Amino acid sequence: MGDRDPLSTLPKSVLALALALLLGSCGRASDKIVLTLWAMGREGEVIGALIAGFEAQHPDIEVRVTALPNNGAHEKLLTGFAGDSLPDMAQMGNTWVPEFEALGALVPLDARVAATPAIDRADYVEGVWASNVIDGRLYGLPWYVDTRLLFYRRDILKRAGFDTPPVTWAEWRRQMVAIKKQAPPGRYAAYFPLNEYEPLQVLGLQAPEPMVTDDGHGNFESAGFERALGFYLDTIRSGLAPAWTSTQVANVWDEFDRGRFAFYISGPWQIGEFRRRLPRERQQNWATAPMPGPDGPGVSTAGGSSLVIFRHSDRQDAAWQLITYLSRPEVQRRLHALTGDLPSRHSAWSGLAPDAPERAFAEQLTRLRPSPKVPEWERIATEMRLVAEAAAHRDTPVAQVAAEIDARADAILAKRRWMLAREAKEAPTTTPFALSLPKGRSSSRAPTERTVLRRAQHERGGGNRA
């Protein structure tokens, strides 16, 4: 009796019911769709709080998030592409979208947008939407927007005799001269960190001419960019701004609070930092203002992050469901509350109660311009920064500095020009990096950027991704 199986004493009906429940449970678990998502930075830390609501509405979908640090996210994405280990979808910086589209890694979203009434293009910030459009097709849906404008010390500006921030470069120059004239030694009117390319990029975007041409050349010798470069270099060379890198400023918030500089170009994440780090009694001393332009209100960068779906994914429908959920105005408002990120949809802004700092960003979002939509842009921008940093310490003529930036950009873009020429049946017998087509040349037979870059990828051994 002691060796008798205890289950044998149970009625067969009870055993059958238990077995059915067990099998049913296993079947439901195996039927659940598991969706993988990579997110980065602060968004990667908080997105789980947003996804909980999605999973509650979609019990058949489980979302597994991998949080990536900002400084390693780009390399991780490239490694994932090379190793066929990308997730189903990702948060991706807008400036990276052209690169991964060129590799053939992204799914176009136009048909899904057209079939989803809740995604209304007219409700999105135009400049950021445009940054995701390549050769007329949409490859990322803007999630949040990021642009740059002026943070300034209104009390210092007031003491210098000005009640309002500048609207034109001439006004900005007059205000900086007046501030510097009153400043004690070691204090300045502005601060442009020499090891960051973004301030010069923002100024360069004011030019009517593009910084990179359609035929694969740098265009930094254009009149518009030279004017921007001259303004940037003269501000530093004349002592209105220090020739410092960010490593020479121990704490930018403390130095701004101390009045070490009065103007600083930065993004919306700084609003929360200044609120947290500056004493309560001095919170009224700082403000934000849209970028001034050469002759009137200026444009700024169309940055931020978008949500993309990777081509290899077998769960693209579920990925689009999550993108649609994360794009809801109320979800974007919650993201703003968690991170300070600016919503990409106008209807999401209507539910916010922005104070003065956010209002300046809302105005700036009406005047955005995308960075050059070429995969090589960040390499080009880095070379632009290196040349400008060296020039800030010298008296090299602006035209010569611009020519050096163009030369470096052209070297980076040489492979692109070679592929353009070959596609147009004009391939030379020289190596790709020796080719130099005349600037300004264009051809109606030139291929799309996508075709060019995918052919280049094929030649590097990655043709199966075209």
Spatial separation of the C-alpha atoms in residues 58 and 34, rounded to whole Å: 12
Contact assessment for residue 243 and residue 193, using Cβ atoms and an 8 Å cutoff: no
pLDDT of 456 reads 43
pLDDT of 250 reads 87
Q: What is the DSSP letter of 2?
A: T
CA-CA-CA-CA dihedral for 154, 159, 161, 162, to nearest 10: 0
pLDDT per residue as tens digits for the range 65-80: 999 998 889 999 999 9
Q: In whole angstroms, what separates CA 340 from the centre of its chain? A: 15
Contact assessment for residue 39 and residue 91, using Cβ atoms and an 8 Å cutoff: yes
- What's the pTM? 0.80
Q: How far is CA 273 from CA 91, 213, 438, in A?
A: 23, 38, 48
Q: In 3-state terms, what secondary structure has residue 134?
A: strand
pLDDT per residue as tens digits for the range 73-105: 999 999 999 999 999 999 999 989 999 999 999
Spatial separation of the C-alpha atoms in residues 8 and 106, rounded to whole Å: 57
Low-confidence ranges of the chain (pLDDT < 70): 1-30, 351, 353-354, 425-466
pLDDT of 16 reads 53
Distant-in-sequence, close-in-space partners of 319: CB < 8 Å, separation ≥ 6: 35, 88, 89, 309, 313
pLDDT of 406 reads 98
pLDDT of 424 reads 77
pLDDT of 358 reads 87
Could you tell me how many residues make up the chain? 466
Helices H, strands E: what count in the chain?
20, 14
Spatial separation of the C-alpha atoms in residues 408 and 176, rounded to whole Å: 32
pLDDT of 353 reads 66
Question: Of 335, 374, 369, whose CA–CA distance to 128 is shortest?
Answer: 369
